[in-house]
Amino acid sequence: MKILFIYNGAENLGIESISSVLKAAGHETALLFDPAVFSGDQLINNKYLANMLSFDKKIVDNAVAMNAQIIGFSCYTGNYQWCLEIARRIKKRCNATIVFGGVHITATGGEALAHPFVDYAIMGEGEYAMLNLVNRLASGATDVSDIQNLCFRKDGRTQCNPPRPYIRDLDSLPLPDKRLFYDKVPMLSQKYLVLTSQGCPFSCTYCSNNMYHQRYCNETNHVRRRSPKHVIQELVYAKKHYDVRTVTFGDDIFTASVPWLKAFIKLYKKKVKLPFHCNVHPLTISDEAIRLLKEGGCWMITMGVQSGSERLRKQIFHRAGSNERILESIEAIKRAGIKISVDNIFGAPTETEEDLKQGYDLYFKAKPDRILTFWLTYYPGTKIIDYAMKDKLISINTKKRIDKGQYSGFAHGTGSVKNKKIAMYQKYQLLFQLRSLVQNDRAYIILSRILVKMPLKGALNYAIVLLNSIKNRDVNAFYLIKYALSKKRVP
Ligand code: B12
Ligand code: SF4
């Protein structure tokens, strides 16, 4: 059968994995891709520019012309409405079976089937649920009531089958179908994206892992890891076949296990030897972990700090660990000569200026190489929604809109923060961003006094974010380049 995937904004490892499994079973796959340079929750979200550069019509026309029997959409909360709109327009013009999957569907399940143009929704891991569905449809059979993870309609009502247990042996999966995305945006290969694990041992209230832990409450361990050998096999293959310059380990927590890291780095140094970037939690940072990362060629680490207030982190984010521990981790990483980028979330329930001041103090001392500030986005099925409702930041009606993907995309917008508080946040946004750009204490104090008095803080912030990206050689910020380079090949 021919299966077409439709996605926007970034490479999608979920689609690549499903595509490989389908191909291994003899099916044909294809992709239509919208770079979504000014939408899709990228650095610069701008409605006017997004409309001007929209690929929607081309995607619908091409999807119809390609004549695939099945069309799969991968939905996260921020692109869910876009997926619905494209699917609706396609279904008007052809008879393809439309299947929705992805993290938003895992959280909201049958919601997608409220739309008559969506035929099936797959919750959780999609590889084998999709394969079973495709094989079933190929055989002409119509009964799908035994396919785990699948939601479908029966007698006009939505029915969801029981969940499929996690895939425990990740080595058993074929290597991801990278070509699907590289043929559209060749420069993606330069920062080769790979996962060595699935899941996270922590359960922060704003993160989709929190939702997974509730949904998969019968599973004893949510973290699964590939063997070092299996990951190395993928990277060696990638180096041989694509233009790979650096590696990005997209794992939630790359440093979750030091013994695994030790075995991995030993092979990586020998067989891959490329600079890499990874994500860590401050509590997983030890001297041994840093030594191994440095030895392997890690050039930058991203660490979630999220707030400088211990109270807020503990009570609202459910993140353990003291400021002292965070400071020690950042200092140790800097001492090792690895760049450190930290993430900070603005707009949490109960957050006050006092909490932000504590962030100011922490970053003043820590001087990370980059501080990325995000505005809190509420993802369906996460605990933080309860706290936000208690703090009257959002209503029950908003909660419903979150499930429908109608209240999302705030990573770079102000989200549910009340108007009167926005100026306060923008001030701290500026102070935090500036700290990574200006690390000399005296210069920072003088400059920050001047800049906080200036108007147009939003624009100033963008400028500093961009300067920090240049300073840290982060090509991800330059979406326009991505667009220009991929324009001829997309959708
Ligand atoms: C790696 C990663 C990235 C990578 C790659 C993105 C990608 N889409 O693959 C990069 C760095 C580009 C990225 C960017 C973003 N990310 Co991200 N990312 C992740 C991360 C850590 C792992 C995702 C992954 O690849 N998993 C492995 C694959 C195999 O699993 P999977 O993606 O879940 O796919 C499986 C199922 O969902 C399902 N499935 C998926 N698609 C489909 C399609 C069909 C048809 C079917 C049937 C099934 C199906 O089957 C797949 C295989 O089992 C997750 C956190 C997490 N632990 O899940 C966050 C996560 C997905 N990201 C998130 C967000 C918010 C973003 C950004 C919007 C951030 C931003 N502001 O820029 C952007 C969005 C960019 C985009 N357009 O995709 C959120 C999404 C939350 C939500 N409810 O929407 C997550 C869950 C983290 C969080 N904050 O909770 N991300
Ligand atoms: S540590 Fe990071 S990935 Fe893990 S639950 Fe918390 S925010 Fe999510």
Q: Buried b vs exposed e over 216-235: b needs ≥16 C-beta within 10 Å?
A: beeeeebbebbbbebbbbbb
| 377 lies in some domain | yes
Both 117 and 62 in one domain: the answer is: yes
| 177 lies in some domain | no
- Protein residue closest via CA to atom 64 of ligand 1: 76
CB 310 within 8 A of CB 269: no
Both 315 and 405 in one domain: the answer is: yes
| C-alpha 76 to ligand 1 mean position (Å) | 7
Which CATH number fits the domain that encloses residue 65? Answer: 3.40.50.280
| 180 lies in some domain | no
CB 196 within 8 A of CB 249: yes
| 175 lies in some domain | no
CB 371 within 8 A of CB 363: yes
Closest CA to 381 of 169, 77, 97, 152: 77
| C-alpha 250 to ligand 1 mean position (Å) | 10
- Protein residue closest via CA to atom 3 of ligand 1: 250
Both 142 and 193 in one domain: the answer is: no
Question: Considering 160, 176, 204, which residue would you say is the last residue of a domain?
Answer: 160
Query: Does any ligand 2 atom lie closer than 6 A to the CB of residue 203?
Result: yes
Query: Does any ligand 1 atom lie closer than 6 A to the CB of residue 411?
Result: yes
Query: Does any ligand 2 atom lie closer than 6 A to the CB of residue 199?
Result: no
Both 154 and 200 in one domain: the answer is: no
* Alpha-carbon span 144 to 136, nearest angstrom: 7
Index of the ligand 2 atom closest to the CA of residue 206? 7
Index of the ligand 2 atom closest to the CA of residue 208? 8
Both 244 and 347 in one domain: the answer is: yes
Ordered per-residue pLDDT tens for the chain, 491 residues: 999 999 999 999 999 999 999 999 999 999 999 988 888 666 677 888 888 889 999 999 999 999 999 999 999 999 999 999 999 999 999 999 999 999 999 999 889 999 999 999 999 999 999 999 999 999 999 999 999 999 999 999 999 999 999 999 999 999 999 999 999 999 899 999 999 999 999 999 999 999 999 999 889 899 999 999 999 999 999 999 999 999 999 999 999 999 999 999 999 999 999 999 999 999 999 999 999 999 999 999 999 999 999 999 999 999 999 999 999 999 999 999 999 999 999 999 999 999 999 999 999 999 999 999 999 999 999 999 999 999 999 999 999 999 999 987 666 678 889 888 999 999 999 999 999 999 999 999 999 999 999 988 888 888 898 898 888 887 666 667 777 777 889 99
Both 338 and 408 in one domain: the answer is: yes
Query: Does any ligand 1 atom lie closer than 6 A to the CB of residue 41?
Result: yes
| 11 lies in some domain | yes
Question: Considering 126, 160, 194, which residue would you say is the last residue of a domain?
Answer: 160
Index of the ligand 1 atom closest to the CA of residue 100? 45
* Alpha-carbon span 64 to 66, nearest angstrom: 6
CB 79 within 8 A of CB 40: yes
- Protein residue closest via CA to atom 14 of ligand 1: 10
Residue positions counted in the chain? 491
Both 155 and 285 in one domain: the answer is: no
Query: What's residue 457's pLDDT?
Result: 85
* Alpha-carbon span 317 to 306, nearest angstrom: 9
Query: Does any ligand 2 atom lie closer than 6 A to the CB of residue 125?
Result: no
CB 184 within 8 A of CB 489: yes
- Protein residue closest via CA to atom 11 of ligand 1: 250
| C-alpha 252 to ligand 2 mean position (Å) | 6
> By CB neighbour count within 10 A (0-12 exposed, 13-18 middle, 19+ buried), where does 130 fall?
buried
Query: Does any ligand 1 atom lie closer than 6 A to the CB of residue 12?
Result: yes
Q: Buried b vs exposed e over 135-152: b needs ≥16 C-beta within 10 Å?
A: bbbeeeeeebeebbbbbb
Residues pairing with 120 in the sheet? 99
| C-alpha 381 to ligand 1 mean position (Å) | 15
Both 353 and 253 in one domain: the answer is: yes
Which CATH number fits the domain that encloses residue 403? Answer: 3.80.30.20
Structurally, the chain folds into a number of domains equal to 2
Q: Is the dihedral of CA 450, 440, 435, 477 positive or negative?
A: positive
Query: What's residue 456's pLDDT?
Result: 86
- Protein residue closest via CA to atom 60 of ligand 1: 208
| 432 lies in some domain | yes
| 103 lies in some domain | yes
Strands 224-225 and 197-198: antiparallel
| 236 lies in some domain | yes
Backbone phi, then psi, for 443, in 5-degree steps? -60, -40
| C-alpha 304 to ligand 2 mean position (Å) | 8
* Alpha-carbon span 273 to 296, nearest angstrom: 7
Both 226 and 152 in one domain: the answer is: no
Query: Does any ligand 2 atom lie closer than 6 A to the CB of residue 204?
Result: yes
Give the pTM: 0.97
Peptide bond just before 349 cis, omega within 30 deg = no
CB 265 within 8 A of CB 297: no
Query: Does any ligand 2 atom lie closer than 6 A to the CB of residue 211?
Result: no
Query: Does any ligand 2 atom lie closer than 6 A to the CB of residue 252?
Result: yes
- Residue 35 belongs to what domain range? 2-160
Both 399 and 266 in one domain: the answer is: yes
Closest CA to 224 of 197, 258, 251: 197
> By CB neighbour count within 10 A (0-12 exposed, 13-18 middle, 19+ buried), where does 305 fall?
buried
Both 142 and 262 in one domain: the answer is: no
Query: What's residue 109's pLDDT?
Result: 87
Both 190 and 240 in one domain: the answer is: yes
Tokens of 467: 């300067």
